[in-house]
Amino acid sequence: MLEVETLDKKAITRLYPERSLEERGHGKLLSFFVPDGALNRHVVLRDKELVIARRHGAIVRSGQNILLDDATLAATCWMQGIFAAQLTIGNTSFHKLFSVSRDPYNLTRASGLRIMADLGAGWQLLAVPSAFEMGLSDCRWIYQCPEQTIIVTAVASGEDAAMQWSLSVEGKPCRFLVFGHVVLGEREYDAGGQIDFDPARKRISFRPDPAWLWGERYPDAVYWLVSSTPDAIEEIGGDELLYADGLARNGAFVALRSRPTQALSFAVVGSMTDAEDAERLAQRYEAGISEEAMLAPASTFWRKAVRGMRIDSASPDLAAQATLLPWLAHDAIVHLSVPHGLEQYTGAAWGTRDACQGPIEFLLAYEHDREARQVLKTVFSEQYLEKGDWPQWFMLEPYANIRAGDCHGDIIVWPLKALCDYIEATGDLAILDEKVSWRDEKTMQKAPEADTIAVHVEKLLDTVRERFIPGTHLIRYGEGDWNDSLQPADPHLRDYFNRHLVRDGVVAGYGIFDPAHDSVELLLHPSDTRTGLSFSLIAMTQAMLGKLFTPAQRRHHMQLIEEHLLFPDGVRLMEKPATYAGGPETLFRRAESSSFFGREIGLMYVHAHLRYCETLALDAAADALWEAIAVVNPIAVTKALPQASLRQRNTYFSSSDAAFPDRYQAADDWARVKAGKIAVDGGWRIYSSGPGLYTRSFVENILGFKRRFGRRRRKPLLPAAHATLDLRTDHAAWRRLMKPKPQM
């Protein structure tokens, strides 16, 4: 590893001239945000005392499109000196150029794009830098060495399917060895492909195996690695450049070795559909493109995504919320357009439930109605022609035959909810007359006929009616529900579950409708003798949000949540974890067998907590809502919760995980979590509907920008301390709502 130094404040000021540095929550200068108009840049400093559960990383993507397409480049950058992992254009699973980084400890060197430097004492790996800076479309690694400062910058173009890396040296020139672990498919070593070297022009082309899935569906797909500083490059080649003897070992690597230099630049460009277009991009980036030219359209895109919203405030609490908004937009758009996350790096598909929640709610909150309409048309075009329902998840063309074979019982209702959300916000009833195709579940091809979305809805409703438990209007549980951990272990029981039953004034999480018994057995209810669990958050909040409760019932269930499910770091799905017996499954599969204590197993699932925030808005509980949303803001959480562990502060975390080493200790010491005596870690990052839900709560409920059938109104729900915030926006309709009304 390369010896680097921690930056001091003087060095930081030199790197960020004329910009104020805003510390957030850590108490010492370990990470900070650099304000940049409506956007922010997050900087993390190297510190030997800094211990975090998850390594810092960022997903950058190219272009201007909010929706999934085959022209958007995406890559994951890690602080530990992985300058691009899982680089793809289009499908984020099948179209990988460089491999995924799965090693959080940085022990291996064979993942993604890596760089070595020779400062005069042989090759050393550029690993954890002195400082790591993340923007919405770029990253920067700063290595302060004893006699030189090396800066590596990676930028995803806001216009092209392109990503460029620039290396600069302050001080004596040094040599670099850049090498990438090539996949050219879905998994390492699983597919072939063609790699061609052009030593004269110092460039490399990559094409997928025409006999494999990617090459078959995209016969013209090609990536190019090119350089605008070819004179600085001594040699390009394969893995022979990685060994002192210069002999190839047939490793899946490409490499370029530079001469001693103070500047080196190279880029990856490509196209999945047009080899000539890829060649034009290659020539453009060989000629040289400045970082400013690449980032200007990207900055415009991200500002439009948040409607140019800017909140100026001296209050740290409000500043933390304002700072997070563009990062939430980033995460929401990654979830929709290049589906994967930092931990959940497989993806490329739309979950039916996911597409109908976070993306729709994010798009409607910022009034990106055209894109929301397109998401709905796409989802309804994937409805099965005969069954009338959807799979749990599906890929889009040309991989639409790849999809889940089953689905949870609640999946079918989410497209209907999303459609209702859209119409109730926009008033666009004309969408019901839009004709979209069906999916033939036998062939997985598009059915030849198309029908209006209104006809699709009728088919959906017929299917729901067919699935009612006899004598009720309650839909069968199927393969599970919204809580992924509570999937039925006994296939016989899956037809008898339900979520909305009330006994003794308390709604049950589930009910078993067994014809062999006269009454319904309630689970996750005070009368439950089978699971030992008494309360289910989702059953309560969804009933409130669906207006199934009377006002008295709602107040009673809010009291139950506060008494049994509200913990310092947020509300939990149940009052305690399901019993873990080391593997045997009796009722719920994952809840009873998963050894990992996080996400739904650890019970504080941020997505569900954000739905609880919506119930607080129903009661206009401004102070409670503000406190509830603050504990899931990664910028504010370490200030709001003394027991919250340090974590990456510019990414949405999908759960708050009590820091138990195993499930046995979690069961023994569970009371300490509610008492705030157990540390809580941030869970998986970025990939979730949560950023969209958070955005909706903040924009619609807290800031108060709401629509009903196209008519706008503003009714903020802010604590008294923040009622006079300085809010600016590029959205003309919102500016009109903020103008003071004339005095009569």
Query: What is d(CA 264, CA 276) in angstroms, rounded to the nearest whole number?
Result: 26
User: What local confidence, expressed as pLDDT, does residue 296 receive?
Assistant: 95
pLDDT at 249: 93
Cα 33 to Cα 134: distance, rounded to the nearest angstrom: 10
Active site residue 36: no
Can you list the positions of beta strands (E) in 509-585?
510-512, 521-523, 566-567, 570-571
How far is the C-alpha of 524 from the C-alpha of 526, rounded, in Å?
A: 7
Structure-block tokens of residue 308: 């140019």
Within the chain, which residues score under 70 in pLDDT? 1, 17-30, 36-38, 48-50, 477-496, 498-500, 516-517, 583-593, 595, 599, 741-744
In terms of Cα–Cα distance, which of 116, 57, 120 is closest to 85? 57
Whole-angstrom Cα distance, residue 625 to residue 616?
6
Residue 22, pLDDT score: 52
pLDDT number for residue 552: 93
pTM: 0.93
Catalytic residue among 484, 495, 514, 669: 484
Q: Is 239 left (phi over 0), alpha (psi -120 to 50) or beta?
A: alpha
- How far apart, in Å, are the Cα atoms of 649 and each of 57, 323, 387? 11, 10, 44
**Could you give the CA distance from residue 687 to residue 691 in angstroms, rounded to a whole number?**
9
CA 422 – CA 78 distance, rounded (Å): 37
List, in order, residues 6 or more apart from 247 with CB less than 8 Å away.
240
pLDDT at res. 592: 63
- What b/e sequence results for 104-117 when a residue is b if at least 16 CB atoms lie within 10 Å of its CB, and e otherwise? eebeebebbbbbbb
DSSP H or E run through 635: none
Going by C-alpha positions, the residue among 465, 466, 493, 463 that lies closest to residue 478 is 493
The three-state (H, E, C) secondary structure of 662-678, written as one string: CHHHHHHCCHHHHCCCC
Spatial CB neighbours of 193, under 8 Å, sequence gap ≥ 6: 182, 184, 185, 206, 207, 208, 209, 212, 215
CA distances from 486 to 376, 612, 698 (A): 28, 19, 30
Between helix 606-618 and helix 537-545 the angle, nearest 10°, is: 40
The pLDDT value given to residue 479: 58
Q: What is the per-residue pLDDT for 631?
A: 95
